[in-house]
A and B are shown apart, each in its own frame.
Chain A
Amino acid sequence: MSDGENQDQSPGRGKGNGRTPPDADPVLPRVATGDPAAINECYDRFGGLVWSLARRFCPNASDAEDAVQEIFIDVWKSAARYDSEIASETTFVAMIARRRLIDRNRRRQRRPPMPTLPEQAAAPAEAVGEEEQSEDVRLAAEAFEKLRPEQKQVLRLAIHHGCSHEQIATTTGMPLGTVKTHARRGLIKIREILRAQGKLMDEAGNRPGEDDS
C-alpha cells in the first residue's frame, strides 16, 4: 500500500453508505453482560478485522484460525473494560488482536520452524465487517501521513507483521539504530496527534486535556 492509499475516506464517518457507524451501537458492553446475541454480533462485526490481522501475522490458515479463537476469547474477557471515550471498539479489538498475535509470533520464534502452507491469495479488498471507519482510525491515517517518509517506511513494516528492528534494518538497508529511532518516533508522533484530537489516555491514566503536561 502506498502512502496515499486509504486516504479516500472523508472526514467523519467514512463512506457514508447509510449503514450504522461502527460505534453508534456498541456491542462490547453487551458482550460483557453475557448477552448471547451480542457474541454473534461481535463476531459478525469484528470477524473480518481479526481474521485479516491473523492471516497477516500467522504462517498459515490453520494457525490463523487458532489465533482468531484466542483473540475472541481475549475480547470476551476484556469487554467489560472497554471505554468508548478512549478508543473506538474497532481499535480496542484490534489492539487486543495485535497483542495476542505479536505474543504468538514471539513464542513461535522460540520454537523450531514449522513447515508452512503456501499463502492463499487474499480475497479482494472489499468491505469486510465494518464498512465505516472509526474516527480514531481516520485520525491515525491522517497522523501517519504527517510522518517523514523514512518513518512511514519503518513503521509500516513494524506494524504490518510485527517485524523486529533487525528484520526492518535488513529489509530497508537502514542502520539498526536509525530503524529503532524511526519506529519509536513515528508511533510517538501518531499518539501525540491522536491525543491532541482528544483520543487515548496517557501513561498516568489521564485523558487528553487532563493533567497533560
Chain B
Amino acid sequence: MSGSSPIPNDLPSEDARAWSLADRALLGTCGPDVSTSLRIVEYLDESFDYAAAATDIALFPPAERPPEALRRRVTATLGRLSEASRPSPIPMPQTAATTANTAIGAPTTASTGRWGWIAAAAAIAIAVAAWWPVTEIDRATPDGSPALFRNALIADRSTAVVACACTEDPLCIGSGECGDIVWNAERGEGYLRLVGVEPNDPSEFQYQLWIVDSTRDERYPIDGGVFDVPGDCGEVIVPIRATVPVGDAALFAVSVEKPGGTVVSDRRFVAVAPVG
C-alpha cells in the first residue's frame, strides 16, 4: 500500500522523521516503512499536528453553526463525566500544567533538550502522584496475588509509584491518569496497574508494556511484557516482565500491538508513565 509514505532510503534521518510526522499530521498515520525511524519522544511530538490544525483554521474558517440539540447533548455528557471524575477538590490539572511549563523551560543542553517531553510528562506524573488519594492505592483486588505482591512492594521505601497518564487514543477511556507503575529499581521488580482502558480481544490485539532505559539507546525500549485487559475487569494489575535488566527506568509506556506482541512497536500508545 503506497498510501502512507515510502521514504527514500537516501534521505537524511532528520528529513525522514519530519516527513513521517508530516504524514501523521495530514493522514493520521506513519507508514510502516517510516514508523521505525521515530523514537518514542518523537512520536509524541505534536508540532506538525499543531501546524496542520492552524493552517486548517486559516484556510477554512468555521462556517456553520451546530444544531442546538447537539449543544445540549455534548454539555450534558461532559457535565456527567466531569462530575463522575471529580475525586479531589485540589485543582490538579492546573498544577500539572504549571509544573510542566517549568520543567520544559529548564533544559539548557542538547542532551537534556531531547528529554524535554519526558521532563514535562514527569512533572505531570509528579503532580498526579501528589494529588492521588492514598485510598486509591490501597484498593487492590483482594484475591489477586499480583495485587498482594504489588502492595508488598509499595511498602518498600525504595519503591517508586508513578502515575500513568492517558493518551488521546480511543482505547483509553479514562481522563487524566489511568493507573500507575510501582517500580523498585533495586529489585528490578514492578507492577503496572491500569484502569479505564478498553478491554481487548487477544485474537485481535494485545497491550504491551515498554520501558525506556536512560542507560540504553532510547530508540530501543525494553519489552516489559504483553498482557490483556479482560472485559469484566475495571482494573488490571500486571507484573512487569522486563526481558533484559533495567538500568535506569525513565519512562514506561503501554502500546497496542498485534497478538503476541512485537519487538518493534508501532508506537500506538494508550498510557505513559514518566519516572521523575
Contact = CB atoms under 8 A, between A and B. Distances in A.
A55 B64 contact: yes
Interface in B238-253: none
Interface stretch (B104-112, B147-155, B256-264): B104-112
26 contacts: A32-B93, A47-B71, A48-B65, A51-B62, A55-B64, A77-B175, A80-B96, A81-B124, A87-B53, A88-B54, A98-B52, A122-B63, A123-B65, A126-B63, A130-B62, A162-B27, A180-B5, A187-B52, A203-B47, A204-B117, A205-B113, A205-B115, A207-B104, A210-B105, A211-B109, A213-B110
A51 B65 contact: yes
B interface residue count range (under 10 / 10 to 19 / 20 to 34 / 35 or more): 35 or more
A interface residue count range (under 10 / 10 to 19 / 20 to 34 / 35 or more): 35 or more
Contacts of B74: 43, 47, 68-69, 72
Interface stretch (B16-24, B184-192, B202-210): B16-24
B199 to A, nearest CB: 18
Interface in A54-76: 55-56, 61, 65, 68-70, 72-74, 76
Contacts of B28: 99, 102-103, 105-106, 162
A194 B78 contact: no
Contacts of A40: 75
Contacts of B70: 47, 51, 65, 68-69
A10 B53 CA distance: 20
Main secondary structure of the interface of B (DSSP, over half): helix
B82 A91 contact: no
Interface in A131-175: 133-134, 136-141, 143-144, 155-156, 158-160, 162, 164-166
A191 B107 contact: no
B250 to A, nearest CB: 13
Interface string B153-192: 0000000000000101010001110000000000000000
A156 B83 CA distance: 40
Closest 3 CB pairs of A and B: A205-B116, A80-B93, A32-B93
A198 interface: no
Interface in B18-52: 18-19, 21-23, 25-29, 41-42, 45-52
A25 B71 CA distance: 21
A32 B91 CA distance: 8
B73 interface: yes
Interface centre among A95, A122, A144, A201 (most CB of B within 10 A): A95
A195 interface: yes
B86 interface: yes
Contacts of B86: 34
Interface of B: 2-3, 5, 17-19, 21-23, 25-29, 41-42, 45-67, 70-71, 73-75, 77-79, 81-83, 85-86, 91-94, 96-97, 100-101, 104-105, 107-110, 113-120, 124, 166, 168, 170, 174-176
B61 A125 contact: yes
Contacts of B83: 34
B63 A191 contact: no
Nearest to B127: A80
